Amino acid sequence: MSMRSIAPAISVWQPLKHSVMANDASQPEPTDLILGGHLPPPSSGAVLGGIQGLRQRLADASPDQIVDLLPQSLNYGEAGIDVLVEAVHDAALIVRAKACQLLQRIDSPKAQQAIANGLWLNPGDRIYYVFASFSDYNDCWYYLVDSIDKMCDSLGCDSINDILSYCKSKPAFQSILVSQHISKENAETVAKTHHQWRAMEEDFSGTGQHHNFRGNFDLIEWCKTNNVLVRLPGEDRSEFEQRINTFYSVQNSLTLGKEQQFIWQEWEKDDYTVDDWWEIRYELECKIVELLKASQQYELLGQLWLEAAGKLAFVHEEVASESIYIRIIENL
């Protein structure tokens, strides 16, 4: 540990380095902290320099603080990798997870060997998986696989580990596992975002007219409740016009050309010309999705999926019952 009478001010850390070219870990860096916390420092102030300074700060830090400090180890080459390898065995899950995440970025045999088995879980540790839902069918209906129990039934699996192995071995199912997290809040945010994205991308009526997993959902009532301006079965022009006037200010709200054109076409058209409820419903669903996209009501489109069919992504919480390694994916 070297002594300095004058030390540079603390600066922002440079971007993470992925190279393992060794720096002189014993020499202080411009970003090293000053023991004593005085600016300017007293002549007796000592700089906690290099890797030893980082180790000292880690030793005195809480788990949350350690998570913030660990990326600095990437500035110290092989000595920094040693710090991360030690952190892989820390008592706190958030520290172990962060260390694994950082080691994944390093092209080094030592780094990769340290995480070859995955992330270590102790009994009681919780991990949160985000899965993408998918559709399946039985003898009569399509249905949405939007829970871990349904997924086990659909894939013929007995546990979460079976599902993970199945998804890894089947290319068509590899995208089902969206992410894994140690924070429930982060997992729920990712699941919501993924649901909204898929709501814009998926074909809501794509399962066909006569294989509908939304049979008990009252689509007409949903349109009325959410002010969706699509002509409903049995609704004449005057009734439709009244809904427009009741729920919208045409001048202020209908600012998008596609939305205006769509609603005008709905007002001009005749009533539904078919008697088959499935065909009517299919046509109605297509029009609803078209309008919501034209008017950029994407949150409402996501809500339609949620209420009518289910979650397009869901979170599963798994509590470790024994000490075990789990496979690491990038976004812990």
Q: What is the pLDDT of residues 81-124, one digit of tens each?
A: 999 999 999 999 999 999 999 999 999 999 999 999 999 999 99
Q: Is the pLDDT of residue 11 over 60?
A: no
Task: Please report, for residues 15, 155, 173, 318, 324, the alpha-carbon distance to residue 165 in angstroms, rounded to integers and kept in the order given.
Answer: 35, 11, 10, 16, 15
Say if residue 295's pLDDT is above 70.
yes
Give the model's pLDDT for residue 4: 35
> Would you state the pLDDT for residue 106?
93
**Angle made by CA atoms 21, 23, 29, in degrees to the nearest 5:** 140
Residue partners of 199: CB distance under 8 A and separation at least 6: 298, 301, 302, 304, 305, 312
The domain locations on the chain are: 1-116, 126-202+313-324, 219-308
Between CA 127 and CA 276 the distance in angstroms is 48
The three-class DSSP label of residue 87 is helix
> Residue 321: is its pLDDT beyond 80?
yes
User: What token pair was written down for 50?
Assistant: 């290099």
pLDDT in tens, 166-198: 988 998 888 899 999 999 999 999 999 999 999
2's tokens: 């070297």
The whole-chain average pLDDT of the chain stands at 77
Across 6-28, average pLDDT: 40
Rounded to an integer, the average pLDDT of 232-249 is 74
CA proximity to 291, closest of 274, 273, 306, 304: 304
Instruction: Give the separation between CA 150 and CA 95, rounded to whole angstroms.
Output: 33
Q: What pLDDT is stored for residue 82 in this prediction?
A: 96
Determine the pLDDT at residue 136.
78
Strands (E), the chain: 119-121, 126-132, 134-137, 142-145, 177-181, 313-319, 324-326
What is the reported pLDDT for 189? 96
% of the chain surpassing 70 pLDDT: 69
Overall average pLDDT of the 61-81 stretch: 95
